[in-house]
């Protein structure tokens, strides 16, 4: 996949990984629609990128908002070639997470991907190609201590990306799934678990920051676009996640026991 001349949509592009992806895409010759719930942040980002970028505010889990993103991209630049489903949220803590917290995590972290694919894939099939990039998390391959909704919704995001690739990969549609560990974003520091659950919030952050290096959004974006260029399905900004994932699969019970010990050490 060569990004020069392509049209891309990036969700969650007001800050963090999404903003970094938008910058690198425009620098590489793509034209980009930046989408974010925070319309002002997305607007500032698009303005800084010049004529190759525009911004749209809205909830990217809403099918009508996604439809509007696609229509804006087509009106400004042409048919969409790449969709970066990057927006994500944390969620509740454990079993006391409310139904509303579960629903919010599933809406943004999973159903936003499903709805975007539903709108884009038929057109991509007709055109003979398209690229869907899902930002999941290492939590989607491993787990997330301290937050059940985040862990479960990110597993689901990985599962949907897998299904999309298997089902449409022979129709010219490429799929990548991005699974980083710690990234220096607002989500890591304040958004994985609501602040009223102080113990779980501290556990969630410690679990990520002690497992490996905390990367900058720009470092992650560089790895993501390299992975897209090579059309890799699994993109791992932290390469050590692959070893962890293999260890999990090779002996699930041993891995679970190790995670319980890791959790106890962080809490102790």
Give Cα 29 distance to the centre of its chain: 22
Q: Tokens 């010759």: give the residue.
A: 29
The pair of three-digit structure tokens given for residue 28, joined into one six-digit string: 């590489």
245 is catalytic: no
Catalytic residue of the set 83, 131, 150, 168: 150
Residue 42, phi-psi category: left (phi > 0), alpha (psi -120 to 50), beta (remainder): alpha
Residue 131, phi-psi category: left (phi > 0), alpha (psi -120 to 50), beta (remainder): beta
Active site members = 150
């Amino acid at each position: 996949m060569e990004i020069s001349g392509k049209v891309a949509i990036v969700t969650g592009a007001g800050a963090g990984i999404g903003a970094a992806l938008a910058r690198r895409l425009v620098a590489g010759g793509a034209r980009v629609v930046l989408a974010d719930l925070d319309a002002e942040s997305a607007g500032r980002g698009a303005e800084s990128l010049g004529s190759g970028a525009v911004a749209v505010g809205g909830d990217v889990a809403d099918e009508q908002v996604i439809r509007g993103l696609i229509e804006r991209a087509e009106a400004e630049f042409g048919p969409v070639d790449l969709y970066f489903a990057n927006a994500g949220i944390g969620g509740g803590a454990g079993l006391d997470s409310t139904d509303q917290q579960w629903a919010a995590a599933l809406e943004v972290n999973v159903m936003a991907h499903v709805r975007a694919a539903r709108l884009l894939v038929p057109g991509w099939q007709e055109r003979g190609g398209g690229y869907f990039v899902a930002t999941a998390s290492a939590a989607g391959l491993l787990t997330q201590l301290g937050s059940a909704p985040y862990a479960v919704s990110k597993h689901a995001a990985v599962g949907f990306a897998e299904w999309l690739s298997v089902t449409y990969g022979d129709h010219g549609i490429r799929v990548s799934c991005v699974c980083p560990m710690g990234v220096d974003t607002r989500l890591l520091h304040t958004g994985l678990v609501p602040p009223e659950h102080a113990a779980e919030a501290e556990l969630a952050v410690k679990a990520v920051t002690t497992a490996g290096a905390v990367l900058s959004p720009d470092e992650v974006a560089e790895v993501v676009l390299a992975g897209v260029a090579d059309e890799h399905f699994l993109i791992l900004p932290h390469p050590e996640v692959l070893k962890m994932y293999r260890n999990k699969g090779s002996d699930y019970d041993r891995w679970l026991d190790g995670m319980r010990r890791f959790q106890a050490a962080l809490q102790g």
